[in-house]
Structure 1
Amino acid sequence: MLAPARYAVLRLLTAARQRTRRWPGSPRALDGVAALSCFSLMVLDVPGLADADNSLTGLTATLVLAAGAATLVVRRRAPWVPYLVALVLLGWLHELTLIQFALYSLGRFRGRAAGVAATVGYVAWSYAMFHLPGWPEHRADTLSGFLGLIVPIGVLAAAVGIAAYRQDLVRELASQRARAAVFQAVQEERISVARDVHDLVGRELTVLAVRAEVLAARARGGPHLKDFEELADTARRAHLMLNDTIVHRADERTATPGLEGLTALAAESERMGSPVTLEICLAAHRLSPLRQTAVYRVVQECLTNAAKHAPGERVSVAIGLDGTRLRVTVRNALPAAVPVTEPVSSGTGTSSMRERVTAMGGTLTAGAHDGAYEVVAHLPAGRLPSRP
């Protein structure tokens, strides 16, 4: 039976483990903590070990136990090492503490098969030791003690380790799914950008090819006929290369609107319960169509997020020019209370927006400031065409 002091130390270590469950320490440091915890428990048995074995003194028993606990430092890379050492200490000194840590480590870092195999080996080894002289010393009621203490200790330690192993797998799977969702959102945004490039640039190439053919027809017999024909052929080949590079999928869609589509977005957001204040400078309407589609996507995602996470709050959208850079600011007040129903969200919207803006050579920041959530995107404005 464990001494009261040992119970107290075990409870303190359990409480410390619960408090440091989220501690972002390195695995090597955590292994060191495990070894130190095991030694702290085993050192309580040093007086009894020295009395039971005349070959050991208090100092030598402490050193032996410290060496055994030190093997837990390699419990992740080689969990069988502390397990084998624990079996030796079990047969020699009848020490049960290290075997608990070793069985837990095998279940935690090697899974169910290793944990079950190690538990069976531990029970078999303990049963063999049970029939040897000197362990346990009192044989009157030792079988019930063996079945009521030795076996449950190993089964419980391995079971906890296996449960932790399965929990690690669940967390890793959830993390991989989250990373895959972000990657898929980024890929979809890249495809969207590519389609917008195809729609906008392809249209201009078509106009260029047609215009060059018209000029070639007018220049029949003139010195520039060959030049116009080569220009038309180059435009057609560029259009074909664009089609080959950006493969259309079966789910064709219309081109992404530009700034002219923001009014419809604002009206839709108001129907969803989030009024929108829209401010667009006149110079922004002279941006290239590709930049306008990027602005549309950013505002669209921001309004969607505002409707999910801050329903009923007013959203302000400001689009203006800051020197040679376009600035898009979307800001909404944070709700006073958390919504009763958690919105359905994959958490990939910000990644999609950032991918779209980064593809255009810009930057995007998003976060809470002064009681409001604000998204700011900066895009290179390029050379604005002069007004006709």
Structure 2
Amino acid sequence: MFRLPAFPALRRRVDRWAVSPRALDVIAALSAFGLMVLDVPGLARADNSLSGVTATLALAAGASALVLRRRLPWVPYAVALGLMGWLHELTMIQFALYALGRYRGRRAAVAATLLYVAVAYGLFQTPGWPARHGDTLSDFLSLVVPIGVLAAGVGVAAYRHDLVHALEAQRRDAAARQAVQEERISVGRDVHDLVGRELTVLAVRAEVLAVRARGDAHQKDFEELADTARRAHLMLNETLVRRADRDAATPGLEGLTVLAAESERMGSPVELAVAAEAKALSPLRQAAVHRVVQECLTNAAKHAPGLPVAVTITVEGRDLRTEVRNPLPKTPPDRAPVSTGTGLFSMEERVTSMGGTLRARAGDGVYTVTALLPTGLDG
């Protein structure tokens, strides 16, 4: 059926495993230091007045600048240029260019790469830099330029990937808010149609009684009752915003057989069991049940096509219980279902707006959605 409810638990589990951004910065610094330590023997032998210990300390100090790569990525970049000129070290510049591309975008990455190439070219023409390479242009083009371009390019790709994820998260949030808003409008329409109908009946009955009681002491009371019902209906119209082309009110439990028939035509047989006590509850509660079952059957057809669905509606004490169950498919559908992923939000908004709860869970190969609504009855 609908797989989204299983995601929050998975998301919480992943969050427990996830490393904080600050920790990732420390890991990046340690990784750069670990790679640069491999060059310590060569640095100690080079003519730069460094021993093995001092070279290690210098590299550690330089790598520590990477902890600032998110907030101040230009700092590790400047340190990397310094290490490149002083110790002929190219490892740090790769981390720095990646950080600029990742956290400052394409323009900063291009500018930093061009500056790096210019500085490196000037250093490359300096005798003794790098110690083991000649000063030919081919050595420069085959070593220095690819290092910078690749590191910056990977960083820019990661930057765009982050943007896509952020936009997707915003889109999901907007879709969820829209689904909730649409469900609130739907609830308002149902309230207007169902309660408004009862107020109209009350007004008409009161007017009839007023006519019958003409000349009687209660005539004025019936007339006031009719006026009160009409004013209440008018206030209901003014309070609830309705679209001009609004649909009819959500059906009640009598519409479940139609939903079951539609589901069976889509290939998912439905076993429907509705307690007689539930049919005596208010139209608004029945409309909420209809909405939940409708969404569940739709999601079952999307995510578990061809599998049977069991719908059980009972009254348990003061709760109206709606339970929809279907087996999970052993293999996913050939094609990914077309889904906005907002059905759960709509169902939850409908149920919680009436003081109920909604729970969706998967276990033992079965997907179950359970909605509990207060019956509104005493006892």
The answer, yes or no, to whether TM exceeds 0.5 is yes
TM-score (norm 1): 0.88
The residue that corresponds to 1:355 in the other structure is: 349
Is there any run of 5+ residues in structure 2 with no aligned partner, and where? 1-13
1:258 aligns with 2:255: no
RMSD (CA atoms):
2.2
Change (3 A) 1:54 1:98: closer
- Report % sequence identity: 71
How big is the shift at 1:129? Answer: 2.0
Change (3 A) 1:286 1:89: same
How big is the shift at 1:339? Answer: 2.0
How big is the shift at 1:166? Answer: 0.9
1:196 aligns with 2:187: no
Q: Deviations over 1:5-36 (max 9, x none)?
A: xxxxxxxxxxxxxxx9x962111111111000
How big is the shift at 1:84? Answer: 0.6
Change (3 A) 1:272 1:25: same
Give me the whole-angstrom Cα distance separating, in 1, the residues matched to 2:67 and 2:328: 48
1:367 aligns with 2:361: yes
The residue that corresponds to 1:155 in the other structure is: 149
Give me the whole-angstrom Cα distance separating, in 2, the residues matched to 1:126 and 1:23: 40
Query: What is the 5 A alignment of 1:136-155?
Result: 136-137=130-131, 141-155=135-149
> Mean alpha-carbon deviation: is it higher for 73-82 or for 359-368?
359-368
The residue that corresponds to 1:13 in the other structure is: none
Matching residue's letter, 1:212: A
Matching residue's letter, 1:296: H
> Mean alpha-carbon deviation: is it higher for 262-271 or for 218-227?
218-227
SS in 2 for 1:203: helix
The residue that corresponds to 2:273 in the other structure is: 279
2:313 to 313, 319, 322: 319
TM-score (norm 2): 0.90
Query: What is the 5 A alignment of 1:77-92?
Result: 77-92=71-86
The residue that corresponds to 2:117 in the other structure is: 123
1:267 aligns with 2:261: yes
Give me the whole-angstrom Cα distance separating, in 1, the residues matched to 2:148 and 2:288: 61
How big is the shift at 1:96? Answer: 0.6
1:238 to 215, 232, 243: 232
1:308 aligns with 2:302: yes
Change (3 A) 1:335 1:140: closer
Give me the whole-angstrom Cα distance separating, in 1, the residues matched to 2:80 and 2:304: 57
Query: What is the 5 A alignment of 1:45-84?
Result: 45-84=39-78
The residue that corresponds to 1:296 in the other structure is: 290
Give me the whole-angstrom Cα distance separating, in 2, the residues matched to 1:141 and 1:88: 20
Contact 1:119 1:154 in 2 (8 A): yes
Contact 2:297 2:309 in 1 (8 A): yes
Give me the whole-angstrom Cα distance separating, in 1, the residues matched to 2:43 and 2:309: 73
Matching residue's letter, 2:358: L
Contact 1:136 1:142 in 2 (8 A): no
1:208 aligns with 2:209: no
How big is the shift at 1:130? Answer: 2.7
Give me the whole-angstrom Cα distance separating, in 2, the residues matched to 1:165 and 1:276: 48
> Mean alpha-carbon deviation: is it higher for 112-121 or for 245-254?
245-254
Change (3 A) 1:285 1:81: same
1:94 aligns with 2:88: yes
How big is the shift at 1:347? Answer: 1.8
Matching residue's letter, 1:181: A
1:38 aligns with 2:32: yes
Higher relative contact order (CA 8 A, sep 6+): 2
How big is the shift at 1:354? Answer: 1.3
Matching residue's letter, 1:198: H
Give me the whole-angstrom Cα distance separating, in 1, the residues matched to 2:355 and 2:176: 20
Contact 1:287 1:384 in 2 (8 A): no
SS in 1 for 2:373: strand
The residue that corresponds to 2:178 in the other structure is: 184
Give me the whole-angstrom Cα distance separating, in 2, the residues matched to 1:329 and 1:140: 76
Q: Deviations over 1:112-140 (max 9, x none)?
A: 00000100111111122233344245785
> Mean alpha-carbon deviation: is it higher for 283-292 or for 314-323?
314-323
How big is the shift at 1:384? Answer: 7.3
- How many residues align? The count is 365
Give me the whole-angstrom Cα distance separating, in 2, the residues matched to 1:370 and 1:135: 66
The residue that corresponds to 2:331 in the other structure is: 337
Give me the whole-angstrom Cα distance separating, in 1, the residues matched to 2:55 and 2:368: 64
> Mean alpha-carbon deviation: is it higher for 103-112 or for 267-276?
267-276
> Mean alpha-carbon deviation: is it higher for 292-301 or for 133-142?
133-142
How big is the shift at 1:243? Answer: 1.4
Matching residue's letter, 1:199: D
Give me the whole-angstrom Cα distance separating, in 2, the residues matched to 1:47 and 1:286: 86
